[in-house]
Amino acid sequence: MSKNIITIQETDEIIRGLRDFADNGQRSYAFRKKKLELLRKAVLANADAIAEAIGKDLGKHQFETYLSDVGVIAEEISFILKNLKMWMQPEDVSTPMAIFPSTKTTLYHEPKGVVLIFSPWNYPVNLSLIPLAGAIAAGNTVLLKPAHETPNAAAVISKIVHEVFEKTHVSVIEGEGKIIGPLLLDNYRFDHIFFTGSPQVGKWIMEKAAKNLTPVTLELGGKSPVIVDKNSNLKTAVTRIIWGKMFSAGQTCIAPDYALVHEDIKEEFIKLAIERIHSFYGANPEESPYLARIVSKERCEKLTGYLKQGTIIHGGFYDIEKKYIEPTLLEIHDLEAPVMKEEIFGPILPLITWKSKDAILQIIRKNRYPLACYVYSTDKKFSDYIIQHVEFGSGCINDNLVQFVNNKLPFGGIQNSGVGRYHGKFSFDAFSHTKGVVNTLSNIDHNLKYPPYSSWKMKLSKWFLE
């Protein structure tokens, strides 16, 4: 199969194989368990190859790759393996007395069928294999489309998948998204579509899915705020914020997009932030092996445009040919500028000061429904206020990014930042059809529900309702 060109005949064969396996393949616990164990083993065996590939594609240090890709994937699969047998069991729930002689109600968890996964370029391995693990745990077959912007990672993903799975169980299709997307969605029916990417493309995916009423999970983006209260452990807060913002050069969907800093601590925040940038990446970050590069020159050019939309407090140097942008602090005066309307996805941290909680909400609601929200404060009432008044997908108090690693938390957005949830049990549920069945005794019956209806039946019905 060519990485750039695939014929409709080749695609037909792939989809037909996946569909046949979905209709007739093995759904047993033992089968799913074996494949997940092999997938985990293959990820660990290819850990160095994954790090090398992402290093070539994104200039990312292998430590960040081991932390955010290899380690997180392995832990996610381990968590699924530990709980899968229990998740697969039919689940008995209570039965209302009003429907006697029905005495038992059971939930059955079944595979949806053929799942299509579109993964993004920013975490190309993580955001391919974690949803893949969930889909396999739920018993589906999968067509996986890695991002073409990170070709080295796509090659490693394809290698791992074809080491572990038969092509009728999981297949990888490579190529440009603008070609492969329409090819797949205009010509084939899928039973679930999982997409990670921009809201703009997510809307297009949802529109295409509506043609067949295909359910979707859309992991999108948004401008995720980090709110720093004057009552915070500022040194720790700044250390964690700069780490979270600059991790993978800011190309993280849940990275702090902009900082809302209380006006009383603005100068100290800036001083500490500059110190942290220097301590992490040195006086000349361009020479640091620890700062990733931007995925493409086109993205780099987009990011440099933001530098003119505020006052550069620190940084601002860039080299488009090297896909490098220096960690930059940018003071914002115009909340209507594109830098405050678009998800940045780069090592540029806009700073805005506030002095009232109302001001915080007014600013955030200009870009409502972020994927993540972070609040740094030692005042529980303040943190609770933010959690209760800001609509967001997931977040942290006094930290950032780490919510993604907790397998027991659902991961996903709200409104413009996404549809649906995954990770751990939420992945199993997302890729499963839960079927409810009521079991009724056949040797007992009553005539209450049958015509003719009488006044005493009406009274009895009211009594049941009350």
| CA atoms in the 13 A half-sphere facing the CB of 79 | 20
Which residues, in sequence order, are CB contacts of 216 under 8 Å at separation 6+?
Answer: 192, 193, 194, 195, 205, 206, 209, 419, 420
| Residue 348, number of CB atoms within 10 A of its CB | 29
Catalytic position from the list 219, 343, 373, 396: 219
Active-site entry in 76, 149, 174, 253: 253
Q: How far apart are CA 119 and CA 144, in angstroms?
A: 8
Residue in the structure block whose two tokens are 């809307």: 203
Beta bridge partner(s), residue 261: 228, 353
- What tokens does 163 get? 């080491």
The question of whether 373 is a catalytic residue gets the answer no
Tell me if residue 253 is catalytic.
Answer: yes
Residues marked active site are found at 219, 253
